[in-house]
Amino acid sequence: MTDSDKKALLMPGERERPTLKTIARLAGVAVPTVSRALSNAPDIGQSTKERVRALALELGYRPNRAGLRLRTGKTNVLALVLSTDHDVMNHTAKLITAVASECRGTPYHLVVMPYFPDESPLTPVEYIVRTGSADGVILNRIQPRDTRIEFLRERRFPFVMHGRTADCGEDPYFDFDNETYGRLCAETFAARGRKRMLIVAPPGDQSYSQHMTRGASEAATSAGMTARVLEGATSDSPTDRVAAAVAADLALHPDTDCVMTASAPSAVAATQSIEAAGRTIGRDIDLASKEAISFLKVFRQEILVFHEDVAGTGSFLARALMQRIDRPDLPALQKVIRPDPLEETMTFGG
Q: For residue 11, is pLDDT > 60? A: no
Residue 349 sits at φ, ψ, to 5 deg, of 110, 25
The answer to whether the beta carbons of residues 277 and 252 sit under 8 Å apart is no
Whole-angstrom distance, CA of residue 326 vs CA of residue 108: 11
Distance of CA 120 to the CA centre of its chain: 19
The answer to whether the beta carbons of residues 272 and 287 sit under 8 Å apart is no
Fold: same for 74-176+311-340 and 178-307+343-348 = yes
Q: What is the pLDDT of residue 25?
A: 86
Q: Spell out where the chain has E strands.
A: 77-83, 109-115, 136-139, 159-162, 173-176, 196-200, 226-229, 258-261, 286-291, 304-307, 334-337
The answer to whether the beta carbons of residues 293 and 320 sit under 8 Å apart is no
Cross-strand pairs, 77: 109
Whole-angstrom distance, CA of residue 128 vs CA of residue 194: 49
pLDDT tens by residue, 45-57: 898 888 888 888 7
Architecture (CATH level 2) of domain 74-176+311-340: 3-Layer(aba) Sandwich (3.40)
Q: What is the pLDDT of residue 344?
A: 40
- 294-301 contacts at long range (C-beta below 8 A, 24 or more positions apart): 294/349, 294/350, 295/90, 295/264, 295/350, 296/264, 296/267, 296/268, 296/350, 297/346, 297/349, 297/350, 298/350, 299/268, 299/271, 300/271
> 190 CB contacts (<8 Å, ≥6 apart)?
219, 220, 223, 224, 225
Q: What is the pLDDT of residue 86?
A: 53
pLDDT tens by residue, 59-80: 777 766 656 555 666 899 999 9
Q: What is the pLDDT of residue 318?
A: 98
- Among the listed ranges 65-79, 108-122, 300-314, which one has the minimum average pLDDT value? 65-79
Exposure on the CB side of residue 264, measured as CA atoms within 13 A: 22
Percent of the chain with pLDDT over 90: 69
Q: For residue 84, is pLDDT > 50? A: yes
Q: For residue 135, is pLDDT > 60? A: yes
pLDDT tens by residue, 187-237: 999 999 999 999 999 999 999 999 999 999 999 999 999 999 999 999 999
Q: What is the mean pLDDT of residues 135-161?
A: 97
Architecture (CATH level 2) of domain 178-307+343-348: 3-Layer(aba) Sandwich (3.40)
> 18 CB contacts (<8 Å, ≥6 apart)?
10, 56, 59, 60, 61
Global pTM? 0.80
The answer to whether the beta carbons of residues 273 and 266 sit under 8 Å apart is no
For domain 3-62, give its CATH number from 3.40.50.1820, 2.60.120.200, 1.10.260.40, 3.40.50.720: 1.10.260.40
Q: Pick 214 or 25 by higher pLDDT.
A: 214
Residue 42 sits at φ, ψ, to 5 deg, of -70, -20
- Among the listed ranges 95-109, 178-192, 275-289, which one has the minimum average pLDDT value? 95-109
3-class DSSP state for residue 93? helix
The answer to whether the beta carbons of residues 221 and 284 sit under 8 Å apart is no
Whole-angstrom distance, CA of residue 335 vs CA of residue 317: 10
- Domain positions in the chain are 3-62, 74-176+311-340, 178-307+343-348
Cα torsion at 318, 320, 323, 324 (round to 10°)? -110
3-class DSSP state for residue 225? coil
Q: What is the pLDDT of residue 136?
A: 98
Residue 27 sits at φ, ψ, to 5 deg, of -85, -15
Question: Is beta strand 136-139 parallel, antiparallel or unpaired with respect to 159-162?
Answer: parallel
Residue 104 CB neighbours (<10 A): 9
Q: What is the pLDDT of residue 43?
A: 87
Residue 229 CB neighbours (<10 A): 18
